[in-house]
Chain A
Amino acid sequence: MSIIAEVSRWAIPFLLLIIPLAAFIRKVPVYESFVTGAEEGFKIAIKILPFLIGMLVSIRIFVDSGALEILAGLLEPIFIFFGVDTELTSIIPLAIMRPLSGAGALGVATQLIDQYGPDSFVGRLASTLQGSTDTTFFVLTVYFGSVGIKRYRYALKLGLLADITGLIASLWIVHYVFY
């Protein structure tokens, strides 16, 4: 664990050192090449702007209005039907939020951890869920948007399938390891 943490800590300084150095040895005009590559950063960031705004507005209205809670309430019987404990249904808003918004999901997870305690079942489950799935819907719209893709084909279905799998796997493993 501490080794992995160290690798994460050193990764960026290492890359910042080794890449320019290696390029220099290979006789690449390092500074000019860096600048040429960096130029693209601005263009890409501007390109994703409308997609970010479109998604954030819709998601934010959905969450802030209280619609998310209502949807979570509607989904509760389904979760219970599949054998999820009643107390664990507090995880449903997080499960819905996770694919939509990274910051939003972190907010919900933090609130759950504070409310139930980090070492409770809900706290551990929220932590595992937060780390094991991604903001699939958000990533898809922004990444596809950045290159002008309009038809996603089976991409969304696939991403959401992975998210649901992550949710089920999180439920199972937290139960298995800690209880």
Chain B
Amino acid sequence: MVNAIWLFMLVIGIVVAAINGRIDVVTESAMKAAELGVETAFGLIGVMSLWLGLMRLAEEAGFIRGLARFFSPLIRRLFPTLRPDSPALGAIIMNLSANILGLGNAATPFGLKAMQELQKENPNPDEASTAMITFLALNTSCITLIPATIIAVRLKAGSVNPTEIIGTTIFATSIAMTVAVTADYIMRRRARS
């Protein structure tokens, strides 16, 4: 499905540009996007190293294990395939906490770290494990308490009450998260049988 979507965007994009007589746009966009990819990845190196260094400290101080134990009743339900002492759990919790607080810069390193730990316990390394899918469902539908960027945009656009969308945002994302977790549970059971 990813292959199909990727190819679809590429082919349709080029065809539309050709029809519109703007084929130069394709070249320019492709080059710019490739450059942006490098910028993004390299831009991540600093924060990534910082957070992974801190996480290592938290691990060795026993913090992460403590966190995992604290959330274990919830986590055991969401991730039945993981061992209760799995090192992935700490990274998952840190990722979700960073997401909730709107610390996007911190969330990505923890998330990628979580994926690495989950991959170590994945019986079939080519294929997404059920725990990974649950994690990504939580990660992408996770609540953000303060959508800071969009509040800034609203403020700049002269909103009378830039923060009035916090409530609606939390509501909408809670519904999305509930549906994601429920659907994940159903799909997981269906996939197993």
Contacts and interface: CB of A to CB of B under 8 A. Distances in A.
B144 A131 contact: yes
B145 A4 contact: yes
Contacts of B49: 38-42
Highest count of chain A CB atoms <10 Å: which of B17, B53, B172: B172
Interface residues of B, number: 107
Contacts of A37: 52-57, 59
Interface size class of A (residues with CB under 8 A): 35 or more
Interface in A136-177: 136-137, 139-141, 143-144, 146-159, 161-163, 165-166, 169-170, 173-174, 177
B136 A143 contact: yes
Interface string A118-150: 110001100111111111110111011011111
A150 B183 CA distance: 22
**Most B Cβ at <10 Å: residue of A36, A42, A60, A131:** A131
B50 A41 contact: yes
B57 A23 contact: yes
A42 B50 CA distance: 10
Most chain B Cβ neighbours within 10 Å, of A36, A155, A157: A155
A158 B2 contact: no
A36 B59 CA distance: 12
A80 interface: no
Contacts of B118: 147
Contact of B112 (A15, A44, A65, A149): A44
B144, B159, B176 — most chain A CB neighbours (10 Å): B176
A77 B157 CA distance: 30
A70 B16 contact: yes
Interface in B20-58: 20, 22, 25-26, 28-30, 32-34, 36-38, 40-42, 44-58
B131 to A, nearest CB: 11
B56 A34 contact: yes
Nearest to A149: B128
B87 interface: no
A56 interface: yes
A34 B53 contact: yes
Contact of A65 (B25, B44, B157): B25
Contacts of B132: 144, 149, 155
Given A30-B57, A48-B112, A106-B149, 13 more contacts: A20-B57, A34-B56, A40-B52, A41-B48, A53-B38, A64-B29, A110-B157, A118-B158, A123-B159, A144-B132, A162-B177, A169-B176, A177-B168
Interface of B: 1-2, 5-6, 9-10, 12-17, 20, 22, 25-26, 28-30, 32-34, 36-38, 40-42, 44-63, 101-103, 106, 109, 111-113, 115-116, 118-119, 125-128, 132-133, 136-137, 139-142, 144-150, 153-154, 157-173, 175-177, 179-180, 183-184, 187, 191
Interface of A: 1, 4-5, 7-8, 11-12, 15-16, 19-20, 22-23, 25-26, 28, 30, 33-42, 44-46, 48-49, 52-67, 70-71, 106, 109-110, 113-114, 117-119, 123-124, 127-137, 139-141, 143-144, 146-159, 161-163, 165-166, 169-170, 173-174, 177
